[in-house]
Structures are given as C-alpha cells and as structure tokens.
Structure 1
Amino acid sequence: MPSENVARRRKFSPGRHVSAFACVLGIAIFGSACSDGSEPISETSPTAQPRPAGPVADLHELSGGNGVSMGSPTKVDLTGTGYVENEYAASGTATSYDPQGALAPDGRWTFQPGSTAAYSTRVLVRRPAATTAFSGTVVVEWLNVSGGSDSDVVWSSTHEEIVRRGDAWVGVSAQRIGVMGGPVLTPTGRGNTSTGLVGADPARYGSLNQPGDGYSFDIFTQAARAVRASGVAMGDLKPRRVLAAGQSQSAYALVTYLNGVQPLTREFDGFLVHSRGIGGLPLAAPGQPADIADDTATSPTIIRTDTEVPVLDIQTEGDLGAPLNSLGARQPDSDRFRLWEVAGAAHADMHTVGPFADALGCSVKINNAPMHVVVKAALNALEKWVSAGTLPATAPRIKVTQDSPPQIARNADGIALGGVRTPPMDVPVDVLSGTPGPNPSVICSLFGSTTPLPAERLAALYPSRDTYLQKYTTVVDDTIKAGFTLAADRDALLAYAQPSRVQ
C-alpha cells in the first residue's frame, strides 16, 4: 500500500482502545449566504443574506486523564507540521427541531425549534500555530460514531491537504453515543455497546453530557459559531470560511442539516458530504441516539436544490448499492451542487483501516483504491468554489444497468464503467470494486475488494513494464488535469503503480 509520505505525519497507534478498530468498521457539512457561482461566496457578497445570530458554545480546555481520545486505527502525528492540537469542553443550551409536515423526498424540509436541554460535549481543534500560515478556512467535521466511538474519518482522508493549505480543522462530538456510550445502532455494530468518552476516560471527560441526538444539529451549529468567534478555539486566527464535512453516518447528518437546519442558521459556507446514504439522520427524541435504520435514513431524499451554499457530494462505487443505497438519492448537478461518484472505490478501504486490514476476515483482499486522494481534491475544489466562485469539475456518473434493482455496469474484466476514474482503474493490474468478496458480513460489504487480474490478461494488456508505466503516468496526469486529483498528490498516485506485476 502506498505510504503517500504518511510516515512523515502519521504513526500507527492500534493500542489506544479496541473501539478505534470498531469505529472504522461502521464507517459511516456547513454554509452561509452566497453569490451566484460567478463570484466568491462570502459574507461581503452583495447577494449575501445576513447570518442570524444565535447561541455560541462556551469552550473550556480539557486536560488530564489519558489525553485526547479518538477512535481511529491510525493516529496523526502533528510533529513538524507547524500545527497545534487543543481539546475543549463545549457547553451551552441546545435546541432540538420539530419537522413541519412530511420530510419530502425533494429535501425541502421545514423545521421549527423544539425543546431545549443543557449540553457539554467535546470539540477538538487542529490548527496552524502561526497566524501567517492560516488560510482562513476552517473545516468542521461531524465526527463519525458508527462504531460506537468518535472517529475523524474526513481528517484521516484529507489532513495532508489541510496542512498543505494551512486550513484549521475542528472535530465535533455531536452525537450521544460518542460521548455517553450505549448500544451501537448501525448495521455493522448492532449488539455491541460503547462506553463513549465519559466511560472510557472519566478523569478527562466525566463532566460531559450529550442530551440526545435531536440536539446534535444545534450543538454542531453552536460549535461552528464558537469557531467563527475566534478567541478560545482559534487563538489569533480569524476564520473567513467555515465548511462542514462528514462521512457515512455523519454525511446522513449533514443531509438533514442541509435540508432543515441550514435554511434557519445559514451558519456554514459550504458542505463536503462524503459517502452519504439514501436518506438523512433522524430527529431523535430527547435522551435517545439516532438510528439509521429509521424511515428518515432509509427513504430516498435528495439535497434540496434551493440551497444557497455550495455542496460537493462525493460517493464511492460501493455507496451506490446496499447497505447505503445512495443510488436512490442520485441528483443532477447545478450551480450549487456537484456529485462525484468514484468508480472502483469502496465505502471504506485499506487507507481507512491501516494496520487492521488483515484482521477483517473478509475472505478477499479489501479495496485498495486511492479514494482519499480524490477526497482531498474534493475539499480543495469546495474551498475554491466558496472562496473564489470557481465551479468544481463536472463528473460523469457511474454507469448502471436497467435491472431491478440496478447493478453497476462493468467491462469484461469486471471493472466499473463511468464515474470519476483513478489510474489503477484505467491502467489496471487488479479489479478494484465496491463489491465485496463472498463473506456475507455487513462489515465486509463496506470494504469492497481487490482481485488480481490473471497473468495472461496482464500480458495481453501490457507488452512490457515500460508500456505499463507509460500508460499509467499518462492517466495520472490526465486525472490531475481533469480536476479529480491534485498535482500535489501526483507522487501519491504514482505510488499505486505496480510495474513488478507485469512480466
């Protein structure tokens, strides 16, 4: 697996706690007023609408205990990057939302304020230490709790680009199970129980209290307001753009936020929705976690087409079918919406699980597509869209059959047709697929597969290693030119080449 210079910034830490592994097995965004796509989208735009005032989370630094807890299989080492990490208790009074009328498939949902409850949750900040290094962009991630503990999935995929640009990153423990623990309500984790931050490290997190996932949306908003206010969280840094990001269950949450909450708060300047499912996160009752088996999560719902801010939705081939079924929520591009479907990619992959890949027991090698390289390009494109009005590249959709239900259309080698294509797809030595091997577990259904092409097929495709490398390098440069990967990640893409496989 290519390192992408990860050793420079990342080190494995499989011993933090086992839930780090469990979290990624369940793997599962923000906007303000905007201009018309031909000009920067900002608060100073002549077409901008005012951002309503509202309560701001009160931040107090956390310390003691076992240090920062994050349920990811790899730990990012900020040494030498010029970044600092600080963790805060974010407190206040949050408001839930009540839907007015049906939650229609067109996403034009109407919410009104419901009940209120006191809360105290965790906010984690990674930012440039020097003001001169700050880009002005803050990426606020709704931390993923599909395995029972918080996981910084978007950071894991994009931190190289975040550090290159000088962005700040903020992770918000928005959902109840990540803070308080309880039964895991995702298909991959049902039957398991999480301790949450409070149970895992009471010396550090014992004062936290998340009152239920119905309050998560306002908690997320209040955390973003605290970021805009600078001061405690940002030090001397002055944010100019606040983007929301979330993957899998967190992307479900951002669909709900976009459709019902963003029209009320206008808090975020853009949304990066990564691997959403077919629906949105339910509005849970007080004291309750959200269940993504609920009707809200399983009913086809697009992102509302009258959104005032840019939304870039990036989906993998594996997301289109079960268990996420995002094909049912596929929608056209517009001047405020882009959909990138990445062929050959799985909901989670080798890059996601790092040292735990061999422990999954999925009977075949899990997916090893460079999905994270495309996610970095998506974040870069969203930032340019928000800051300069530069529209992202328009991507072809992955082709599907006319069957019921539709299936991914494939060539004779079994490789998906259409979609955003990375070099290992168009100059293959393996069949990279979102389709898993024969293991029937839900976990394995998320990780896709990597199936080697037979030696005789490779011989027919590539007369020599030089021919293979020539073709591969050409596709790398074409993918960068198309806007789906970044020039800064050229070496990372080249590292996925496997000339030794060609005899």
Structure 2
Amino acid sequence: MRSPHSDLDPGTDPPASGRRTTAALAGLLVAVLLAVAACGSGATTAHVGVATATSGPAADLTQRLTGGNGVFIGTAIPVDLQQAGYVEDEYAATGTASSYKASGRLTSDGRWTFRTDGSAPYRTRVLVRRPADASRFSGTVIVEWLNVSGGVDADPEWATTHEEIIRRGDIWVGVSAQQIGVIGGQVLVGAPGPGSELAGKGLKAIDPARYGSLTHPGDGFAFDMLTQVARAVRAGAGTGGLQPEKIIAAGESQSAFAMVTYYNGVQPLTRAFDGFFVHSRGAAGLPLVGPGKAADLTGALIGGTTTIFRTDQAAPVMNVQTETDLTSILNSVKARQPDNDRFRLWEVAGTAHADAHLLGGNAATIDCGAPINNGPMHLVTKAAYRALATWLDTGRPPVTAPRIDVRTGLISAVKRNPDGIALGGVRTPPVDVPVTVLSGDPGPKLSAICLLLGTTKPLSPARLAQLYPSRADYQQRYLADAEATIRNGFVLAEDRAALIGYAEPARLPS
C-alpha cells in the first residue's frame, strides 16, 4: 500500500510481474465491479491545440504533506522511481469548490448543460511524480482521477501506462477526488488479506499524522476540485517549477465514468484539459450528488443515462475498452460512437477489465474455475496513450480501429470464432496466433470479481497440431503478427520484447 521502491525495472514489462497488495487488488478490481487492423490515413490530420482554459479559482498547492508513515497509495505495480529518474511529492490541495446541477435532462448525445450549485471548502491530497531532471520534461502532464472503488485511493492508469509516461518524460498527477479515499465510507466489495482492514477508512484515519488535516465536502464537488488542481498545475504549482504545455485528464473504470460526466458537462464550462484519456468506461457517466454524499455508481450502472462523448468540443478523447467492458455490467457497447476528428475508440479483442498483468501474484489466489485473462491489454493502452499525446503535440490523430463484433439484442454478446476467440477489434499476436483462448468472458465460477477477470483457456494438443505444423511455424507466424501489430500502431516498438514475451513456443513440439 505504501508508495513503492522496488527492483522492478521500468523499462521491462513481462506479462505478469511485480508485487501487489490485497488492498491494491481491491482498488484495481473493485473499480470494475462497479462498474489486420485498419490504419488512419497519414495524410489526414486534425488540428488540436492547447486548451484556452477559462479563468477561475485554482487549488493552493503550496503545502506539502509529510510525516506519518509516508505516501499512502493503493498501487498495483510497484515502480522504483529513483531508478526511473523520477521524484515523488505529495501536497495538500486546498480551496473552495463548487458543485454542479444539470439544467434540463441529460441527453444521450452528451450535450449536457451544467450550472454551478453550492460551494464548500476542501483540503484533499495530490500526488505528483515528475522527472528529477527538468530537461527530461516533455511538457505534458497527465492528471489521474484516482480510483476509490476498493475503499482506498488507487492509481490504475499509472500502473498501466507508467513505462510510457516515464519514457516520454511526462508528469503524472494523482488527485484524491472522491470522498471515500479521503474520509472513508462504504466499501462495495472487499478483498481478504493483508491491508484489507484499511479499505473504507480513508486517508485521515489510515495515517492521521500525515493526512489528519484533510477534508472532503462530497463527490458532487469532486469535478471542480479536479478543475482547480488542473488550473494550479497549469500555472506551475506542484511541478517543481516545470511549466506544462498540455494537460490530459485520465481515469479508468469508476474514474472513467467520472471522465464522461466531466467531458460532457464540466469541460464546456472550464476548458481545463487539453485532452482526455478514458479507459474502460461504462455506458453512462458518474452521477452528480448533493453535499456530503458519495457518487451513486450503482445507480449509473442500473439506470444511468446512456451517453456518447459530445462532439462539439475542441479537446480530443482517446477511449480504450477491453472486451469485457462491452457486454459485462459496464455494457459500454450501448454507448459506442463513430470516430471523428476529436474522438477515437479502440476495443481490444481477447482482453479483460482486469488481468494477470495487473494482479500479479494475487491472480493465483483467485479461483474463477479457469485461469484469468493474461492478455497484453497494457501494451495496447500504452500505445493509445502515446497516440493521444502525439495528437496533442502534432495534430496527427491516432489510427482508427475496427470494432469488436457484437451480437446485440436483449442480451448483447461478443461474436467468436469456433475456438471462442472474439472477432474484430484491435488484435494482438496472442489472439491471432493463439495457443490459448484469451477471452473477456468469465470462468465458470461467477463471483463478482470473476465477472471482470476474463479467462485464459489452453487449446488442446490436437487443435495446436491442426493450427501449426511445427514450433518453428508458430514462432514465425507469431513474430510476423507482432511486427504487423506494431506497424499498425497498436503496440509501441519499444514494447516489442514484451509483446514477443507472450509467445508460448514450448506448448508445441520442437
């Protein structure tokens, strides 16, 4: 749970590695409980510039948080920041935030009209990871709405993309936006084991010496708190004197619901962000709530307004979705929309909302009746993040991707080939040159967690013999597919070794 310093090399990326805590597992998994490819023409560009942010109050980031037991964060993948050339600072963000009220109904086109409602003081936590050498700073800051579904602040977007953030020299900012992470609250789903007793207590109770001064007025104010942190960071606060050029808002799972609401209702008022990185959204947005209340994500899943991202804003959206997200309780297929000059959607075949890479050693402790998904979703996500950053830097949009084939109806279902592998979507070598069937569908033991973990089911020796006349043939085809995936823009060249590491030649006779 503590801010990690381990021997994990940030330049390496094995399919499933690193140490995780139980609370980190909850923070990553429970978020979900609540919740060859066509390339774009290189000649087609869409000019994307820096946001002309509106004026307004900014958070005060002058006060560092120190003492106690050190930085507390539910982390899925520990990173040796010192080895990576990064430093970590923690601040109290203080100010007076506004809540919002919708004027009129929330429509499915996302063109929502919000107005400010009440106001309340806040004092929350902001965590900053930045290059120690100022000359390495890219000029881009990614601001992650920390995920709280497991009862603690967790940083799944950092966990998924940190290799690329570090390679680029970006600054990462994590914001304790929701109240349960700060002052505690009801935990919808827990996970047993060391650290689980901290879920739902909040930073104030977990480490009073460090976080006892924090206050949170309720999740209805979280959107403006995020805005005020972004304004402060754009002005150079909390960055060690580094001046950002572009600021990206990011969120995964429950936090992706928040990104939908922010983009459709708040961004038109603030223009606080230059781009949005949205990972595993549901069909609706995070609801607005009154003072002192936690966001009603269950209500969003059951009866929230299905909505696309509005299409009349300057800030581009890069949306990446796993196979699980489409037809599970998140049901994001209902909110599909066409790509345009400000929107890209990548749906990744053979992936699950959470997988073996994110769970590490904890994956072996979860019995879903079949091994959980071990697909390379994180590799595609890093490529998507770079594509968004490049879009902002150069105006060159990300490549377009085919959608996963889905049979819609009363109950939607992913269309599959005879082996059970999804058709369509962004594809990777483990999907196109398989020795196992990677699926976003759950195993036979349908616990709440297992619904979101997908499966990895080995193909039989007889089927492997039908597919590949020899081990050499398999390896040749896998390497060719890996090169095509990289060439098509869905995995980065820097992650070639990690992608090839998913090959399993030992499954075939030599």
| TM-score using structure 1 length | 0.92
Match of 1:453 in 2: 459
- Relative distance call for 1:282 and 1:186 in structure 2 (3 A) is farther
Partner of residue 390 from structure 1, selected from 396, 408, 411: 396
Shift of 1:19: 2.3
Shift of 1:442: 1.5
Indicate if the aligned counterparts of 1:144 and 1:151 stay in contact, CA closer than 8 A.
yes
Gaps of 5+ in 2: 1-5, 33-43, 193-197
Give CA-to-partner distance per residue, 1:25-67, whole Å, 9 cap, x none: 2133xxxxxxxx8465224xxxx7x421111111111111111
Indicate if the aligned counterparts of 1:245 and 1:271 stay in contact, CA closer than 8 A.
yes
Query: Which residue identity is paired with 2:54?
Result: P
CA distance in 2, matches of 1:301, 1:403: 18
Indicate if the aligned counterparts of 1:23 and 1:151 stay in contact, CA closer than 8 A.
yes
- Secondary structure (helix, strand or coil) at the match of 1:89 reads strand
Shift of 1:406: 2.3
Number of residue-to-residue matches in the alignment: 482
RMSD over aligned Cα atoms: 2.0
- Relative distance call for 1:415 and 1:6 in structure 2 (3 A) is farther
| 2:244 pairs with 1:243 | no
Query: Which residue identity is paired with 1:258?
Result: Y
Match of 1:183 in 2: 186
Match of 2:236 in 1: 230
CA distance in 2, matches of 1:187, 1:272: 27
| 2:480 pairs with 1:474 | yes
Indicate if the aligned counterparts of 1:27 and 1:347 stay in contact, CA closer than 8 A.
no
| 2:44 pairs with 1:42 | no
| 2:160 pairs with 1:154 | no
Match of 1:57 in 2: 59
Match of 1:375 in 2: 381
Indicate if the aligned counterparts of 1:40 and 1:387 stay in contact, CA closer than 8 A.
no
Indicate if the aligned counterparts of 1:230 and 1:239 stay in contact, CA closer than 8 A.
yes
Shift of 1:20: 2.2
CA distance in 2, matches of 1:459, 1:471: 14
| 2:368 pairs with 1:362 | yes
CA distance in 2, matches of 1:153, 1:417: 27
- Relative distance call for 1:253 and 1:288 in structure 2 (3 A) is same
Match of 2:141 in 1: 138
- Secondary structure (helix, strand or coil) at the match of 1:431 reads strand
CA distance in 1, matches of 2:500, 2:184: 42
Query: Which residue identity is paired with 1:381?
Result: A
Indicate if the aligned counterparts of 2:97 and 2:122 stay in contact, CA closer than 8 A.
yes
Indicate if the aligned counterparts of 1:148 and 1:193 stay in contact, CA closer than 8 A.
yes
Partner of residue 31 from structure 2, selected from 27, 30, 34: 27
Shift of 1:188: 9.3
Match of 1:94 in 2: 97
- How many percent of aligned residue pairs carry the same amino acid? 56
- Secondary structure (helix, strand or coil) at the match of 2:381 reads helix
Indicate if the aligned counterparts of 1:26 and 1:147 stay in contact, CA closer than 8 A.
yes
CA distance in 1, matches of 2:364, 2:320: 27
Match of 1:7 in 2: 8
Give CA-to-partner distance per residue, 1:310-351, whole Å, 9 cap, x none: 101100000001211101111111000111000010000011
| TM-score using structure 2 length | 0.91
Match of 2:418 in 1: 412
CA distance in 1, matches of 2:427, 2:489: 11
Query: Which residue identity is paired with 1:240?
Result: E
Aligned ranges 1:256-295 → 2 under 5 Å:
256-295=261-300
| 2:115 pairs with 1:123 | no
Indicate if the aligned counterparts of 2:8 and 2:79 stay in contact, CA closer than 8 A.
no
Query: Which residue identity is paired with 1:109?
Result: W
Indicate if the aligned counterparts of 1:186 and 1:293 stay in contact, CA closer than 8 A.
no
Gaps of 5+ in 1: 29-36
